[in-house]
Structures are given as structure tokens and as C-alpha cells.
Amino acid sequence: MVQRLHLVFGGELVDPTGSVFKNVDDIHMVGIYPDYQSAYDAWKSEAQRTVDNAHMRYFIAHLHRLRDEEAETSPTEELG
């Protein structure tokens, strides 16, 4: 079975149309989830909780897509 981990994180942005965090030390690490649906549910919960602050934004990072940029191909690409 292939495991595809997802990281949910967010914080206050400098500009709500961008993706640069105001203070990297204040990034909220929500958690790591075993599948996209669980990550999406966590993302949605945090996004709705902070809806009144236009500068707050949460993201889902696909950890299974991380790769070693120095290598021609990465073992993670073999996950399918």
C-alpha cells in the first residue's frame, strides 16, 4: 500500500494575494495526515476558523512529492 502524507500549515501573510509569511516563526503547523481527504478536512477547519483575517492562509503540502533536486530522479517519484 502506498502512503501519501500531507502537511497542513498556515499563518499570516504579508500580502493576502501572495504566499510570503509575515513571520516564519509564527507558522501554525496543524499536522501531518495519511491521506488528502484528512488533510483537506483539517485545512478547511483552520481556514474557516480564521476567515475573519484576510491575511491568514492555510496550505496543504504533498509530502510524498518532495524530491531531492540534486538527483536526476527521486525515489519518491516511484510511489505512483
User: What residues pair up with 10 in beta bridges, in sequence order?
Assistant: 28, 58
Three state DSSP letters for 31-62: EEECCHHHHHHHHHHHHHHCCCCCCEEEEEEE
CATH topology for 6-79 is: Alpha-Beta Plaits (3.30.70)
Reported confidence tier of residue 80, pLDDT bands at 50, 70, 90 = very low
CA distance 31 to 43: 10
Give the mean model confidence (pLDDT) for residues 9-31: 96
Give the mean model confidence (pLDDT) for residues 47-71: 85
- Judge residue 7's burial from the number of C-beta atoms within 10 Å of its C-beta, 0-12 exposed, 13-18 middle, 19 or more buried: middle
Q: Are 53 and 13 in contact (CB under 8 A)?
A: no
Q: Is the pLDDT assigned to residue 24 strictly greater than 50? A: yes
Residue ranges of domains in the chain: 6-79
